[in-house]
Structure 1
Amino acid sequence: MTISFKDRVAIVTGAGGGLGRSYALELAKRGAKVVVNDLGGSRDGTGHSDAALKVVEEIKAMGGEAMSNGGSVTDLAQMEEMVAKAKEAWGGVHILINNAGILRDKSFAKMTMEDWKLVIDVHLNGSANCTKAVWDLMREQAYGRILMTASSTGLFGNFGQANYGAAKLGLAGFTKTLALEGAKYNVRINTLAPVAGTRMTEDLGMPETLFNALKPENVAPMALYLVSEDAPTNMICGAGAGAYHAAYVTLTPGVALPADERTPEGIAAAWEQIIDRTGEIVPQSGGEQSQVVMAALAKIGGLG
């Protein structure tokens, strides 16, 4: 079955190039009306350009409908205005892909707190601003699909990217709560960790053959699936070079210790049991941790 976005209105942030442009073009090809948002800055977030306008021209040239927006995701009022314009022109907003981002890479020892705060502001707070701007509208129309952009750095770590990693794992956590809050309104939220060669990564010394294999067009299929009508919710997925996968936050059964063994030494003695992944679960809400605690306690005779 062909996945169509006919009669859907989509906002893609950071869509002037790279992944965002690829998402915007593919959404438009499949019938969506697209708001192409891009501040037009360089990789470190400085400067401006008309990158968004060029993508709108590409969409219009292939017969699609699009509008450009040059607002900063760090400014809630600008994002609210962007959503209002989309609703005025096209009647609603059904899809939001939070893709805008910058890099300020340095080891934490050399990183300034300004660089820390700026990266958090663009990625984490910026995604929250955009999501807040569409949230009530999506609940009212009982339809919404939101995609957060995480990273392997957030999920697994990467030297020199403490600010970026903190923001990206924060977005995965943001997704998990929103998925619960949006469920009864048919608002589904997912997280995508892309691996792609873009303007964010082009000067990081990547071999040309690898850079070409990691073209954004190979990530777009997963992004579009995760904002489609039949999309799952509360998933963390990855995509790159034509390979697609899922990542999970798991919880081991652990062990409950008798009262007299609840010491650092008791933890050390039980460590192998605590980290044993046999029977681990993928909780669908934070409350499931409490259930695991209760189950472990039951094995030693309850709350002691």
Structure 2
Amino acid sequence: MLEHHVNHALVTLLSDFGDRDVYVAVMKGVIAQVNPKLQVVDLMHQVPAQDIAVARFCLINAYPYFPQGTVHLAVVDPGVGSQRKAIAVKFAGGFLVGPDNGIFSGVLAQNPAITSVELTNPQYWRTSQPSKTFHGRDIFAPVAAHLASGVSIQQLGQEIDPRSLVKLNVKQCNQTKTAVTGCIQYIDHFGNLVSNIPESYVQAKKWCVQISGVMIPGCETYSDVPFGDAIALVGSHGWVEIAVNGGNAHLQMHINFYDRLEVLFLHKNQNALA
């Protein structure tokens, strides 16, 4: 075990491992073996299996709320054991550790990489012969712990050009004079359907959402419609979402990830249901 450093930063943990198996606990155990004083915060472990786009979205919405220097460890890794790189990235808010598969491309679009390295130094791995199927345990978790304990990112491996990092090809929203077309990019615990249309498109406008042949009024709060009715609004995350007041939009409307929707701009006196 390497000597602990005095710096004790936070480590956040995001994965698609769920809570039925011991994988998350094993990664926390590895982190504690490196430095038991580190605080680990679970962001989420219910990312749909191998869905890098959802993981990317969750990171975008979580990282701004953590202190400077936080190490964000994310393991949604369908390419584990392949030629995809294992990386660590330094950016203005802290560090990112995980696979180079686009999972960090949302964060880095907002806060560009300062330094990025491929994790080629086995001194900071759990073992010099890591599992072909569990880099989260054998590479990413120990590296994150060492980073959070004060190890320099340059010590972790070979520096690589940040421009070479994989960018995830996510669906973009498209605007015309009368509408914005997008898709559902996330479904939260309450069944709210979060689109990829940011708040800026609907600010100071009257609008509604059309999806699966249904017109839904754009409002400000859930209680702006009767109990049980569908509503479109901007959620706390800053994206247009569809909800049901007191209900579950995902279950009631049978709308799923990546389904298409359209925000329609209305005249001041025009009714969304007209």
Q: Give the structure-2-normalised TM-score.
A: 0.34
Q: Give the structure-1-normalised TM-score.
A: 0.31
More strand by share: 2
